[in-house]
């Protein structure tokens, strides 16, 4: 690419990421040569942190697992109901349902609902948006798995959409899910009757605009494009480029989830922007932790092939910075995210706080 | 799930029996008229359409600047904008229908133009995916390499994926709202656009086409045509109606009009291609399934239906209804070449 401007220039930069020196002197292939003993040691650090998080959560009397279970069930019900049941073509709707209801933790919808609640809204006001972000997420996975893209046969332990239904239907399924997400958000009858009749339409327009921007050619798609262009390149990816990819590929949709939740909940502009910063931090955190887990955990623990990044020579944070610095970076991102929540009511912010902890300390 | 109000319109184009007319005379009438001037004397459709193409394309051009990452933005422009000269020239029928519906109701063109531009983006996104090797495997589109042939299959998938959200972004940022277009109307327009390209609209048509429905009987063929082309045209007219402040009856009539025009236009295209008079089309099987007699009969029925819908507006809106009539005549007769018109405005 001739003129590449990293995202950090066009969007708010996530607070001082790393000392420049750390990036410059990082042992680029450190983990490729990492002896087994070192892998064990870092694995232990991640595990200890998880134990600490578990202890912290019991102290605040917030049962994160129950919370996530309830939200996932509610979101799954909304998703199931959102797909036209008795309208043809039945097979296309079946392919959509196959991809959309394949399980998953529903982290993005949970963030959307929690953001609505933290600004004082009712979660039900944001449920159509929570369903929409999961549809968009699913659509990006369906297209990502296509033979012309990542060419994956398995997703969450099940055959991917194009394996079951064929490529053309997988393309259409993705397109239809994308359209459904916007249609579902725009429909008046998606929302409960107690939304603020005067302000609700403007909020919906703003939310749809946020979602569209975050997933388009300057959001999610931009991340996929730059990632695609990096793949197969012999040169190591510089840290700012890696950050660009993650901020777009992963963080952008998390940002949309949180921001539209806050908009539909009636949050102030200041609250919305604080939550946007929170989402960007946890979005990047999500990917840094993913990279760390790939080199520290076994395939069995992850539920997917471990060491895949190394094997495919993919650029990762541990590769660029070393594991130790990657862990420090993750800690920094987590504390940045927490700081953005400090102005909110503690009790209402508990789900968002625990979601951030969960993303930081998850084991797979 | 509750279906949208228009579902009752879907699928069925009520086709009453027409007296059968000899195959050759019917067919000749279409061909004979194809060189005739537009039917409405005081309304110059060619000029109206041509000026709108120019407006739509300059707004499309401005809506898609080359930004980083350049590759994707370049692929998106390629999919939507015409190339140099005549190659890649599109008729832009959906935006013209959208603007005409809005102007019929006396509302300013500026209210409908952003939605008209969005329709082209959505339309292009569907075409890019429809041309993919795993679909129609079309190597060319509008006389030049299709998007995947020029940019690669992976980039074509992503360009389509990015054009869908760009359409919604464009409507939101450019429609004059909340004045004169209230937010509640804007939300309805966004929902209408999303529905038209979704699993019960255009995607349904593409799916049915894949499944080989157009090689079956009349009902299946009409269903493919209705979903693949009628839905988009209905959406165009409905968006124009909403943005122009239509009352529910007017909106419903314009929806029916749009849907009918969309199917009519496509069916005539198929007839012309089968007669060697138009561009090459892949789905000439439509004609095989219907038979020439029946196809010509349906053309007449659709034409009459569309004119009936336009008649509803004649008393109230006087001369402003003329574009609606002239679209019907153009759809059947193709009285002029827009390709040339677009090249020399």
Cβ–Cβ below 8 Å for B203 and A172? yes
Query: How far is Cα B225 from Cα B209, in angstroms, rounded to an integer?
Result: 9
The pLDDT value recorded for residue B287 is: 78
The pLDDT value recorded for residue B102 is: 97
| pLDDT tens column, A276-310 | 999 999 999 999 999 999 888 766 666 666 666 66
Of A186, A211, A225, the CB nearest to B187: A186
Q: Which two tokens stand for residue A348?
A: 């209402």
Task: Determine which of A328-332, B64-68, B142-146, B297-301 has the lowest per-residue pLDDT on average.
Answer: B142-146
- Strands (E) across B80-122 are located at none
Neighbours of A101 (CB within 10 A): 14
Does B10 score more than 80 pLDDT? no
Characterize A118-145 residue by residue with b for buried, 16 or more Cβ atoms within 10 angstroms of its Cβ, and e for exposed.
Answer: bbebbbbbbbbbbbbbbbbbbbbbbbbb
CA neighbor of A256 nearest in space, from A136, A343, A172: A136
Cβ–Cβ below 8 Å for B73 and A183? no
The pLDDT value recorded for residue B7 is: 35
Instruction: Confirm or reject contact between A226 and chain B (CB < 8 A).
Output: yes
**What residues contact A265, with CB distance under 8 A and at least 6 apart?**
A115, A116, A117, A118, A119, A120, A121, A122, A125, A126
Cβ–Cβ below 8 Å for A180 and B153? no
Higher pLDDT, B177 or B216: B177
The pLDDT value recorded for residue B315 is: 87
Distance from CA of A16 to the nearest CA of B (A): 23
| Contact by Cβ (8 Å): B130, B179 | no
Does A332 score more than 80 pLDDT? yes
Query: What value does the mean pLDDT take over residues A49-66?
Result: 65
The pLDDT value recorded for residue A317 is: 93
Of B2, B72, B197, the CB nearest to A222: B72
Distance from CA of A62 to the nearest CA of B (A): 35
The pLDDT value recorded for residue A363 is: 85
The pLDDT value recorded for residue A233 is: 73
Higher pLDDT, A184 or B316: A184
Of A143, A171, A180, the CB nearest to B199: A180
How high does pLDDT run on average in chain B?
83
Does A335 score more than 50 pLDDT? yes
**DSSP 8-state symbol, B278:** S
| pLDDT tens column, A9-34 | 333 333 333 333 333 333 333 333 33
| pLDDT tens column, B168-180 | 999 999 999 999 9
Query: What value does the mean pLDDT take over residues B256-284?
Result: 76
Does A337 score more than 70 pLDDT? yes
């Amino acid at each position: 690419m001739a003129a590449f401007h990293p995202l950090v220039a066009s969007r708010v930069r996530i607070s001082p990421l790393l000392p420049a020196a750390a990036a410059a002197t990082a042992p680029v292939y450190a983990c490729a040569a990492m002896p087994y003993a070192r892998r064990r040691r870092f694995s232990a650090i991640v595990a200890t942190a998880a134990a600490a998080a578990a202890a912290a959560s019991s102290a605040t009397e917030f049962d994160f697992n129950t919370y996530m279970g309830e939200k996932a069930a509610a979101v799954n019900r909304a998703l199931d109901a959102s797909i036209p049941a008795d309208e043809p073509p039945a097979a296309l709707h079946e392919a959509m349902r196959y991809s959309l209801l394949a399980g998953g933790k529903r982290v993005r919808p949970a963030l959307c609902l929690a953001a609505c609640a933290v600004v004082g809204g009712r979660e039900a006001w944001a449920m159509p948006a929570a369903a929409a972000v999961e549809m968009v997420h699913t659509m990006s996975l369906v297209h990502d798995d296509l033979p012309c893209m990542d060419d994956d046969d398995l997703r969450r332990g099940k055959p991917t959409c194009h394996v079951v239904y064929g490529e053309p239907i997988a393309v259409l399924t993705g397109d239809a899910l994308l359209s459904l997400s916007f249609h579902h958000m725009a429909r008046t009858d998606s929302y409960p009757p107690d939304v603020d009749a005067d302000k609700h339409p403007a909020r919906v327009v703003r939310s749809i605009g946020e979602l569209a921007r975050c997933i388009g050619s300057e959001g999610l798609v931009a991340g996929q494009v730059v990632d695609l262009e990096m793949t197969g390149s012999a040169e190591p990816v510089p840290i700012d480029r890696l950050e660009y990819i993650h901020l777009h590929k992963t963080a952008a949709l998390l940002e949309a989830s949180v921001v539209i939740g806050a908009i539909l909940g009636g949050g102030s502009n200041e609250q919305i922007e604080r939550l946007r910063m929170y989402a960007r931090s946890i979005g990047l955190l999500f990917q840094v932790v993913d990279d760390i887990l790939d080199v520290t955990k076994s395939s069995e623990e992850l539920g997917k092939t471990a060491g895949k990044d190394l094997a495919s020579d993919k650029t990762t944070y541990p590769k660029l910075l070393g594991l130790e610095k990657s862990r420090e970076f993750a800690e920094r991102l987590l504390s940045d995210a927490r700081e953005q929540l400090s102005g909110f009511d503690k009790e209402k912010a508990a789900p968002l706080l625990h979601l951030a902890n969960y993303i930081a300390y998850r084991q797979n | 799930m509750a279906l949208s109000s228009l579902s009752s319109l879907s699928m069925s184009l009520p086709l009453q029996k027409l007296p059968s007319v000899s195959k050759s005379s019917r067919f000749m009438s279409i061909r004979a008229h194809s060189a005739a001037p537009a039917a409405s004397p005081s309304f110059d459709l060619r000029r109206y359409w041509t000026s709108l193409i120019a407006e739509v394309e300059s707004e499309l051009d401005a809506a898609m600047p080359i930004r980083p990452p350049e590759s994707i933005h370049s692929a998106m422009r390629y999919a939507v904008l015409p190339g140099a000269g005549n190659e890649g020239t599109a008729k832009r029928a959906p935006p013209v229908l959208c603007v005409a519906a809005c102007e019929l109701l006396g509302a300013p063109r500026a209210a409908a133009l952003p939605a008209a531009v969005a329709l082209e983006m959505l339309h292009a996104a569907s075409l890019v995916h429809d041309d993919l090797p795993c679909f129609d495997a079309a190597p060319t589109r509008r006389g030049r390499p299709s998007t995947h042939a020029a940019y690669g299959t992976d980039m074509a998938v992503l360009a389509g994926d990015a054009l869908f959200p760009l359409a919604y972004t464009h409507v939101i940022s450019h429609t004059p709202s909340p004045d004169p277009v209230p937010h509640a109307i804007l939300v309805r327009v966004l929902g209408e656009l999303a529905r038209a390209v979704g699993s019960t609209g255009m995607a349904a048509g593409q799916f049915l086409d894949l499944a080989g429905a157009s090689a079956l009987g009349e009902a299946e063929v009409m269903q493919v045509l209705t979903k693949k082309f009628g839905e988009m045209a209905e959406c165009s007219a409905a968006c124009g109606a909403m943005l122009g402040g239509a009352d529910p009856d007017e909106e419903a009539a314009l929806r029916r009009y749009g849907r009918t025009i969309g199917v009519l236009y496509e069916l005539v295209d198929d007839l012309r291609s089968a007669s060697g008079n138009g561009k090459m089309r892949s789905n000439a099987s439509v004609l095989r399934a219907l038979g020439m007699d029946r196809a010509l009969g349906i053309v007449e029925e659709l034409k009459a239906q569309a004119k009936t819908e336009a008649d509803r507006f004649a008393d109230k809106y006087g001369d402003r209804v003329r574009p609606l009539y002239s679209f019907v005549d153009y759809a059947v007769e193709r009285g002029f070449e827009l390709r040339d018109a677009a090249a020399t405005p």
